[in-house]
Structure 1
Amino acid sequence: MDFFNSVIEFFQTGGTFMYPILVVAALGSAVAIERFIRLHYERHTNRTMWDKLQPILSSGDFDRARNLVKQDNSSVAKLLSMGLARQGAVRRREDIEIAMEESMMEITPQLEKRTPYVALFSNIATLLGLLGTIMGLIEAFTAVANANPAEKADLLSASISVAMNTTAFGLMTGIPLLIVHALLNSLTGEIIDSLEMVSVKASNLIDSSTRRRFEIDAPASEKKAENKPVKKSEKHSKAQPEAQAKTEEQQTETA
């Protein structure tokens, strides 16, 4: 109870600027908690989705992969949906990579949004604390000017200690928010790096699966072409040049 009483007394003696700092602390904490929950959820769903997609892409079952990413809302699914859609239309690796880069440009702002607000609230809390201290000092010196000379020293020291409460509370709010902002940036960068790694791995898997399928289909198509029966029209067209050559030889012999 003594701790809570001292906290309440500290807050009450800080003046009116303690309330705006408290509001800023609440807003910054709310944004930080929301971002932590969202980013941890994104990291978990991305890992789960990639673990499902990797063996499917390795096997070359692109239709199944397309159906799987359509049913999921993770960042990995959004990233690969563009690449797999382009894979169904074209075969070039460059086009698939460009499609995934375009999707990456859409995903990155969604991961980074609202994170800068945490640093903003940290700076606002610190500045409000300093402003509260300055205003408190102004009031203290104004009150001391009209006070009894014998009480000026005690009154000034008490007023200054009260005015410093806002600076202390502003720093107690701003420093943790600044640390949280750094952690959020680190977590966001980790997710973005993992998405870029997934993009490269998916491109390699799609490219290798496509080449492997082409190498398997090419000999089969050649065998079909060799075993294809020759039509009568083709035989007739081949026989005509031979007949013309024979008649020309006979004419030269008679001549």
Structure 2
Amino acid sequence: MADALATLGSGGPIILVLAALSLLSLALIVAKVLQLRHVRAGGARRTEAFELWRQGDKQRARQMVEQGPAPADRLTAYAMKALAGGFKGPDLDAELTRRGNEELAEMNGMIRLLELIAMISPLLGLLGTVLGMIQSFQQLELAEGAANASVLAGGIWQALLTTAAGLLVAIPAAVGAGLLSARIERAAQTMESAVGALMLADRNPGI
């Protein structure tokens, strides 16, 4: 425990900031994974619902998509309700676009924060590197230029530690943000495809 505290202390306050950012990024990644785990679910159920809609069994088709947890299910459930009520044309398209954008905004929540952590963590590590080297040269100056490795070791250790810590925080955050963003993009494509399939089924009943 004492060794861990000594290691932490040698990196200065920057290590504390990076540790906090690491915990925050891990918490965000876990929260977003849980939030996005169902965003592409229910494809087979929606396909069956669209077939029922085409055949004229609109009530049952609506019930099937309303049971789904995915954004595509919520969007198509609204579209089915609107179509059943005679709400069609550009006004419906605009409302579906608005609702789709709201779903996307909710899915993208906190992704920018994760990207920000991935961006600033290496910069904080670089700052620690610079401060560590400044400390080393200050110690060298106080030693009146004596070439003593022990004089320089503390500052160099801090420089290396903060650089490594910054990269260790940034890499998982960047990977997490990239993978989560890709999943959100696929969910957006699923919503678009689901609404398009519903409109096609509505225009070609009984086929």
Q: TM-score range by the shorter chain?
A: 0.7 to 0.9
Q: What code does the residue aligned with 2:173 have? A: L
State the Cα distance separating 1:64 from its structure 2 match. 2.4
Q: Output the CA distance in 2 between the equivalents of 1:50 and 1:6.
A: 57
Name the structure 2 match of 1:224.
none
Structure 2 portions without partners, runs of 5+: none
Q: Matches of 1:73 and 1:186 in 2, distance apart?
A: 19
Matches within 5 A, 1:34-113: 34-44=31-41, 46-47=42-43, 49-90=45-86, 92=88, 94-113=90-109
1:228 alignment partner in structure 2: none
Match in the other structure for 2:17: 20
Distance of 1:187 and 1:69 partners within structure 2:
21
Whether the 8 Å contact between 2:33 and 2:180 is mirrored in structure 1 is yes
Query: 1:132 is matched by which residue type in structure 2?
Result: G
In the TM superposition, residue 109 of structure 1 has moved relative to its aligned partner by 0.8
Which residue identity is paired with 1:36?
V
Give 2:140's match in structure 1, choosing from 122, 144, 154. 144
Match of 1:190 in 2: 186
TM-superposed CA distance for 1:167, in Å, is 1.3
Give 1:94 shift.
4.8
Residues 69 and 80 of structure 1 are in contact (CA less than 8 Å); yes or no, is this contact kept in structure 2? Answer: yes
Say if 1:190 and 1:139 are closer, same or farther in 2 by CA, change over 3 A: same
Aligned residues: 207
The CA distance in 1 between the partners of 2:44 and 2:19, in whole Å, is 39
Partner deviation per Cα, 1:184-233 (whole Å, 9 max, x = no partner): 11111111111111111111011112xx49xxxxxxxxxxxxxxxxxxxx
Secondary structure of 1:41 counterpart: coil
* Percent identity (aligned): 21
Structure 1 stretch displaced more, 86-95 or 105-114 = 86-95
In the alignment, the residues of structure 2 paired with residue 143 and residue 48 of structure 1 have an alpha-carbon distance, to the nearest angstrom, of: 68
CA contact (8 A) 1:140 1:159 kept: yes
The aligned residue for residue 116 of structure 1 is 112
Cα separation, partners in 2 of 1:204 and 1:96, compared to 1, 3 Å: farther
Q: Distance in 2 between matches of 1:107 and 1:28?
A: 23
Change (3 A) 1:97 1:49: farther
Q: Which runs of 4+ in 1 moved over 6 A?
A: 4-9
| Richer in helix (by share) | 1
